[in-house]
Structure 1
Amino acid sequence: MTTPDLELFKVGKVYDNGTPAVIDFNLTVEKGEFIAFLGPSGCGKTTTLRMIAGFESISSGDMMIKGVRMNEISPAERPTSMIFQNYALFPHMTVRRNVGYGLEVKGLPKAERDAKVDRILATLGLEDVADKRCDKLSGGQRQRIALARGLVVEPDILLLDEPLGALDANLRKAIQNELKLLQRNLGVTFVFVTHAQSEALALSDRIVVMNQGRVEQISPPRALYTRPNTPFVAQFIGRNTIFKGAVKGTENGHAIVDTPFGPLAGDANGTLANGAAASIVIPAEAIEVFARGAVGRSHNRIDAKINRFEVVGHISHLGVTLPDGRVLSLEAHVDKYPPGVFPADADITLAWAPEKATVIPAH
């Protein structure tokens, strides 16, 4: 059995004023995994990354890299590299000097240093700009230079603190694709901090969702998206509709929640005692819209009313008002809901298959 690249055992961080920033963080990362830390501002994700890098001290718990305890090891002595959001490049240096700087600090002989720099420049397609100054290059090129500088020292773990945040949307998407491919080809463990859900869902093997210093859930992207464990994750990830109620029992293998809209069924996720408070979580894409009375009994159903219908390009956008006054925004391909299929104020029924809904404990 191989030793994991990274292990955190009940790691905590408390600032000098007594404010807890990270609480009982547990995580095991295998070699070659791409892990994303995701959560709102102030949730502790960047603090955790900085503890792994050694830029923040650990108040409690243990942090191991390849089985070696790292709590008191200096950043320079850890087998990690960190890429910051602003890249922290030296503007007066050439690309080649920037990339080789870490090797220079480590005292590698020039011939060995040059060979390593040449290899990583070729890997990232930077040979043509190797002798240009960094301040003369585009955002995408500077991002690649930062990656090259982090990877040339051959770290066991590459730490990335929102490295795509400064890029425009189109370039960000292109770099995402390159980053995923590069990580797969090199087999280096990546730990990536982001506040962008789409980025975490697209890039990572597993996502760590944090909230107020605590880990809410650690799951692969699809499991996280389709099977949230907690009310926070259900509200934070994707576009979910959530109905609160009490557990009524089970039927046909599904948990039943008694709600103000009647009993609704979904797949249980967590311990659900009869009578206990629970929520049923439905992803927006699981909800289908039917003319009132046109849906069978095998689905969950709630009567509603159309308040808006418009087509933008090939996507139909529907605004739906629920009986409790909540407004949902749904969308689908125009072939499914063609123009005019639902006039304004039309009475409709929303329906979804029980297996596409998740029932979670309320707390």
Structure 2
Amino acid sequence: MIFDLELINVDKVYDNGTTAVSAFDLAVSKGEFIAFLGPSGCGKTTTLRMIAGFESISSGDMMIKGARMNDVPPQRRPTSMIFQNYALFPHMTVRRNVGYGLEVKGMPKAERDAKVERILATLGIEDIADRKTDRLSGGQRQRIALARGLVVEPDILLLDEPLGALDANLRKAIQNELKLLQRTLGVTFIFVTHAQSEALALSDRIVVMNQGRVEQISPPHQLYTRPNTPFVAQFIGRNTIFSGEVKDVVEGTAIVDTAAGKLSGHAGSTLGDKARVNLIVPAEAIEVHPARNAARDRIAADFDGNLIDARVTRFDVVGHISQLAAALPDGRTVALEAHINKYRPENFPVGSDIILSWKPTEATVIPAH
């Protein structure tokens, strides 16, 4: 099978010996929306720049549609890149900015103008086509950068945190437009972001990176609910993590001895007897019961023994959402939220004792290292 993009054991090591990217493997099908996600300095932008040709590859192979691109200069690659600052020309009109790449390629004016008009219409910016870019809003400039990247009809569009400069409301609106545009055009998108919400909302698959290495590549829901490594469990979502030792594995459910007692969750991989593990419980999986009127035996039966005593330390209502913080016996705090009809302030006053529980299928047990 020929992929739109394939990275095969790609490394990037700088002249001073610093490793920026190590053993990166990825295969991207046509029309996929892939997000690179991770903390600052994890190697995600370096990887994007290697795909674009702005950074050399130290070892490994980078393929686009089956052709090796390691030594192909940026201008000859079937890619287009949108930078965080958009890199627009302030002295040019919107129309000239959008058509600049076609002009550099030497495309005849009539054909170039037709392509520019089509992409301006697609992105709904025909009415500002004759304005200078330094007089436009952030959202308009972002759309112009998209138009300039797409008008050259790349096989792959590379986006380096393109929404980072926008305010929260505009960012959400552009997210929706970006996803719809990508689906409509069928272009492969590689998107770098440090914002989990963007990666989870936009992408078909997410590549989580840490210190130059790939930690996990999964669809958003799988990544969120079934982390493969301790780093992903700590980095994605809001998880409570219990360390312990495997006591038994029964039909895919691991029983774990922890400081909080015997707890259980889905075995995320093959786990040996007495293996050191982490039991990962997403905040969304946790149910809260007032301890004062709880039937512990019934709760234990309903949740296969997954009970933890806790105490409410904060309760806030934001609109129709209740936000509750609970202290565990070991001093850690769990943050939970739900609709106010589920968690009402009068049922969970600050200082009251509660019981936390979860279904084993909604937690994940993974090796601790």
Shorter-chain TM range is over 0.9
1:301 to 304, 307, 322: 307
SS class of match (2:154): coil
Whole-Å separation in 1 of the counterparts to 2:151 and 2:102: 8
Whole-Å separation in 2 of the counterparts to 1:141 and 1:63: 33
1:257 aligns with 2:256: yes
Whole-Å separation in 1 of the counterparts to 2:251 and 2:56: 51
Partner of 2:97: 98
Partner of 1:288: 287
SS class of match (2:89): coil
User: How many residues end up aligned between the 2 structures?
Assistant: 362
1:349 to 337, 347, 355: 355
Partner of 1:338: 344
The Cα offsets for residues 69-92 of structure 1, whole Å up to 9 and x where unpaired, read as 000000000000000000000001
User: What's the RMSD between the two structures over aligned residues?
Assistant: 0.9
SS class of match (2:26): strand
1:315 to 321, 334, 348: 321
Whole-Å separation in 2 of the counterparts to 1:90 and 1:241: 48
1:1-363 matched pairs, under 5 angstroms: 1=1, 3-251=2-250, 253-292=252-291, 293-294=294-295, 295-299=299-303, 300-363=306-369
Amino acid of the structure 2 residue aligned with 1:297: A
SS class of match (1:61): strand
Whole-Å separation in 2 of the counterparts to 1:214 and 1:254: 29
TM-score scaled by structure 1?
Answer: 0.98
User: Which segments of structure 1 move beyond 4 Å, counting only runs of 4 or more?
Assistant: none
10-19 or 320-329, which deviates more: 320-329
SS class of match (1:233): helix
Amino acid of the structure 2 residue aligned with 1:36: A
Unaligned runs of 5+ in 1: none
TM-score scaled by structure 2?
Answer: 0.97
SS class of match (1:132): coil
The Cα offsets for residues 49-101 of structure 1, whole Å up to 9 and x where unpaired, read as 00000000000100000000000000000000000000000001000100000
Identity value in percent = 76
Unaligned runs of 5+ in 2: none
The Cα offsets for residues 298-339 of structure 1, whole Å up to 9 and x where unpaired, read as 311111112222323211121211111111121111101112
Q: 1:144: Cα distance to partner?
A: 0.4
Q: 1:252: Cα distance to partner?
A: 5.2
SS class of match (2:130): coil
172-181 or 333-342, which deviates more: 333-342
Query: Do the aligned partners of 2:6 and 2:27 also contact (CA within 8 Å) in 1?
Result: yes
Whole-Å separation in 1 of the counterparts to 2:316 and 2:120: 49
The Cα offsets for residues 160-192 of structure 1, whole Å up to 9 and x where unpaired, read as 000000000000000000000000000000000
Query: Do the aligned partners of 2:290 and 2:347 also contact (CA within 8 Å) in 1?
Result: no
